[in-house]
Amino acid sequence: MITETDVQQLFGSILERIQNAELREKVVKAWTLACQRGGWESVDDLRAMPFTLLTNTRGVNFIEHTIAVTEGAYGLAKAQEAVYREMPYEVDYDRLLAGGLLHDVGKLLEFERDEQGKFRKSRSGMCARHPISGTAIAYEVGLSDEVLNTIACHAKEGDGRPQVVETVLIHQADFGTFNPLVMMEKGTLIQ
Ligand SMILES: [Fe+2]
């Protein structure tokens, strides 16, 4: 069983930057709940899980992806704040960090292991992609509408939809980690 302590250890360096203790707890609760619902037993499962089934991830796992996207979105925000004489919009860092950690939490329901132990799309995943299932989990633990937006609208479901700025940053960081791998498969990444 994956416990709240496991989740705290996995994401400690990011969680500790979330100022609002209640928000931090809800992020951990959402992650733990999604692990339970998805039937994941151990942290080793999470470390073995590819972050997407849509392309060859070349060994990048779900945990690494979640951290890279969160830090990427954080870096995008910090860079603008450091360089602009005046920020045209305000970034809510608590929301950004929470949304980064949770943007793909629905993948814990979207994926499962087959009889050979390989990862595949689950029945739940066929019924609802991870932005939808992740939003449902986040709603269940009482996260705010704005955090729900970062999950619901971080992928193609959010194209052209109203978004908080943290969703925009998470989306860009997410595709900054995904697109190069897809391009490698297609032979369009110049190396
Ligand atoms: Fe992602």
Residue ranges and CATH numbers for the domains of the chain are 4-180 (1.10.3210)
17 CA from centroid of ligand 1 (Å) = 20
pLDDT digits (tens, 9 = 90+) for 70-81: 999 999 999 999
Distance 171 CA to ligand 1 centre (A): 8
What rounded mean pLDDT belongs to the chain?
98
Q: Cα separation of 165 and 85, whole Å? A: 19
CA of 103 to the centre of ligand 1 (A): 6
Contact 18/27 with Cβ under 8 angstroms?
yes
Distance 155 CA to ligand 1 centre (A): 8
Q: Where are the alpha helices (DSSP H) in 16-129?
A: 21-38, 43-48, 62-83, 93-102, 107-110, 123-127
pLDDT band at residue 99 under the 50/70/90 scheme? very high
Q: What are the tens digits of pLDDT across the range 108-155? A: 999 999 999 999 999 999 999 999 999 999 999 999 999 999 999 999
